Structure 1
């Protein structure tokens, strides 16, 4: 299935149904930038705007050319999701939270021919590699007809990874891989006839595929400019939101703003989460304060979205540590360093085979894509019932005195302490042991963290070499746009302490 076929069919079947809502919230932008107006487009309007944008870029770029987009979340961004691939071009989303040097690097590496962008961001960039156009102009400028894309295997989006383990890599997503990802998600997270999903994730991330998945189900998506938990209740009421897509850090922040009579408990039926582990305590608070279903998704850019799901029915204490089971059409196996499959219960690298696996990295062959399988770089294991447990990133394993320490295992123990709101564990160089374990802790509100108490807790649960040698306190952990802890940035902070 081609991406634009979703819109063409929806515009034919339910032309007047709302497809996209962008509430009028001031984005994180230059102070001189006026607050955007509330935007609501029907499927017919979104299809018309996407087609106009397709004609615009087709007239200004070569077939298969790359089109960058540097913008805050806005309605025209979703039009570009569809419109650029519709024209047979490749959309290159740039994360607005990155440094201008990083934007310039990704535009140069992708050989972009055109840049769609918000003026406050493109002014910081100062790009001279091609025309720079506001997306609103691209959907309103008359353009001649164009030749629509017909190849499902052709690249649609070139998404750069978050760079949590090194320099971001460009991932080639195709019509086929994104369509497969949508079908998998809809099979594992069924969409009701009245579902209205809200997502605050930057559209520059693969999490944006959820917007398209709901369009495939002919349901609207509410896309926020910026996540402000204090404003969420009013947005939920105004736009009849029934489902939220959040990272655990976002859920935690939201629960601090849940109040009696705000309507959230009555209106929110489900919250889907991913990007980082969730704690049993946070699950308990969600059930207590909101009483809604929870669903976890495990995936990544290279998988065009989520591929493994822990359903609402699976949210039982004995499965809280699981990522879930593979969706339809997704195969998971655990392999050793040589890529050989390991038996059930063994720990190794998670490898995935599915139509939703991306087409590879842009101008880079590092060996992760081979024989139809993608090696994720995550360590995990499968249990006899088929549940996947994600243990850590391979590159986050700390080697101290010749022993391997999973940062995630230590973090899980530390999160059990009531004084800990959040925590991340990294290794720092040590002349004697190679590395030593360091825990960076965010205290719970109103609590005073005693580092010795945390070490004592770890000593009661973990082997001696896994116990943190330093415990540092911080107000907040550095995170990426999707809510993952930015471990390289954290290691720099630790080195400076």
Structure 2
């Protein structure tokens, strides 16, 4: 197995692209890692060689947003099928700008798509972090001989708009937003500036986004454990409106499995019966679209009432004084769990009061969903590609 250090620099990305091209052609399996991170010992090839499947082209690490990062075994077939289905959905192969870390699946797929398109990807230097002005410069340098695409996480999109660089994002034929849920307010704001935003749902285990704006990519099947709910990549599919359930995914984009090391063995049951069983809650609307509602483990049991954290977050984000939020449950001697919220205010100098926010939630969702405690932060702690670090928020709010 070939370990490729990816520090965010264009030089590292070029090295990864060469190794990836070789792996997709049947060569040595690639493991992209950030320098200095052990990732549970995976940097030591002797720990993994005996567990690799012959079909594995890439071992990609999950973000670890719900625990220890796991190594996901992805075949060349899964990676290329996902890339081809993405191009088919967007309008054909084109020129890609890599603006997210290449050691995560969203960034890696930008490289796979570029290889299949036969185009040289633009590479934003992320070694010093994401800077909107540099993104704008890189977007100008990207070839306009054909469609132009990029992929971002919601935080990056918000920073571009805040920095007055909406035109840079609007210069792309499509901007795929993944890594975390896209708030409706942010989408509306971006589209108001002419940005063609496509919200992608997926994960490392599905070779990246496999549901675009609620419609599964060609060949992808989505179902939940609510009776009768299934959606496919066929446009115009229909399904009866039924209650939400745990989401499962199937199709040629699925990973082979997790790397069978000690860190991943407890999660291997997620791959069974030809499906990947996620920990996400979702439903399929009457017109066949997939709606992701949050994670099953984000349900807060407070005073015997089950509160969905994502529902409280949606209401808080609708308040004009709230830019972003993360809602979690913390142990409470009276309630079992208390609903608490970390808030990023729209204007730190004029943040809404906790009482105002509590009243806003109480009116929309009722008393049980009302946060017992609200604390303000300049930014949410993140883990992985733009995902809120709920464990860090829980520690912060539980202190």
Same fold by TM-score greater than 0.5 = yes
Match of residue 141 from structure 2: 238
Residues in 2 aligned to 1:325 and 1:345: alpha-carbon distance in whole angstroms: 17
Secondary structure of the structure 1 residue equivalent to 2:350: coil
Q: Is the 8 A contact 1:344 1:382 kept in 2?
A: yes
Over the aligned positions, Cα root-mean-square deviation in angstroms equals 2.4
Shift of 1:341: 5.5
2:362 aligned with 1:462: no
After superposition, the Cα gap between the structure-2 partners of 1:257 and 1:167, relative to the gap in structure 1 and judged at 3 Å, is same
Asked if structure 2 preserves the Cα contact closer than 8 Å seen for 1:67 and 1:84, the reply is no
1-structure distance, mates of 2:217, 2:111: 19
Q: CA deviation at 1:381?
A: 0.6
Deviation at 1:101, TM superposition (A): 5.9
Hey, what does 1:359 align to over in structure 2? 256
1:211 to 111, 122, 135: 111
Distance in structure 2 (CA, Å) of the matches to 1:466 and 1:200: 37
The 2-side partners of 1:263 and 1:388 are apart by 30
Q: Which residue of 2 aligns with 1:36?
A: none
Change (3 A) 1:372 1:474: same
Aligned residue for 1:286? 190
Secondary structure, in 3 states, of the residue corresponding to 1:468?
Answer: coil
When the two structures are superposed, what TM-score results if normalisation uses the length of structure 2? 0.85
1:173-226: CA deviation from partner (whole Å, max 9, x where unpaired): 11121122112212222236xx43212111110111122123323333212221
Q: Is residue 2:66 matched to residue 1:165?
A: yes
Question: In structure 2, what is the Cα distance between the partners aligned to 1:285 and 1:101?
Answer: 37
How far off its partner does 1:85 sit? 5.4
SS state of the match for residue 93, structure 1?
A: strand
Q: How far off is 1:104 after superposition?
A: 5.5
Partner secondary structure for residue 139 of structure 2: helix
Assess, with a 3 A threshold, how the Cα gap between structure 1 residues 425 and 69 changes in structure 2: closer, same or farther.
same
Confirm whether residue 254 of structure 1 aligns to residue 156 of structure 2. Answer: no
1:431-471 superposed Cα distances (whole Å, 9 cap, x missing partner):
22221111101111353231111111101110321111111
- Are residues 1:105 and 2:41 paired? yes
Cα 1:101–1:292 shift into 2, 3 Å: closer
SS of 1:167's equivalent?
A: coil
SS of residue matched to 2:387: coil
State the partner residue of 1:419.
321
Q: 2:339 aligns with which of 437, 460, 464?
A: 437
Q: Distance in 1 between matches of 2:392 and 2:42?
A: 20
Cα distance in 1 for partners of 2:138, 2:121 equals: 12
**C-alpha separation between the residues in 2 aligned to 1:447 and 1:191?**
46
Change (3 A) 1:198 1:167: same
Residues 124 and 135, structure 2, Cα contact 8 Å, conserved in 1:
no
Query: How many Å separate the matches in 2 of 1:76 and 1:213?
Result: 16
Q: Give the SS at the match of 1:366.
A: helix
Give me the TM-score of the superposition, normalised by structure 1. Answer: 0.69
8 Å CA contact retained: 2:323, 2:346: yes
> Are positions 1:328 and 2:218 aligned together?
yes
Q: Is 2:92 aligned against 1:196?
A: no
The Cα offsets for residues 86-122 of structure 1, whole Å up to 9 and x where unpaired, read as: 46432122245xxx46435332487267xxxxxxxxx
- Give 1:243 deviation, angstroms: 2.8
Q: Report the CA distance between 1:378 and its aligned residue.
A: 0.4
CA contact (8 A) 2:90 2:174 kept: no
Pairing partner for 1:401 from 303, 310, 313: 303
- Superposition pairs for residues 16-95 of structure 1, below 5 Å? 66-73=1-8, 74-84=13-23, 86=25, 88-95=27-34
Partner Cα separation in structure 1 for residue 97 and residue 254 of structure 2: 25
Structure 1 position 84, deviation (Å): 4.3
* Cα distance in 2 between the residues matched to 1:105 and 1:427: 32
Shift in Å at residue 77 of structure 1? 1.6
User: Aligned pairs, how many?
Assistant: 369
Structure 1 residue 408: deviation in Å?
A: 1.0
Quick check: 1:398–1:427 contact (8 Å CA) kept in 2? yes
| Cα pair distance change 1:386/1:70, threshold 3 Å | same
- 1:266 to 1:377, Cα distance in 2 relative to 1, 3 A: closer
How far apart, CA to CA, are the structure 1 residues paired with 2:192 and 2:281? 32
Cα-to-partner distance string for 1:396-430 (whole Å, 9 max, x where unaligned): 22122232221111111000111111111111111
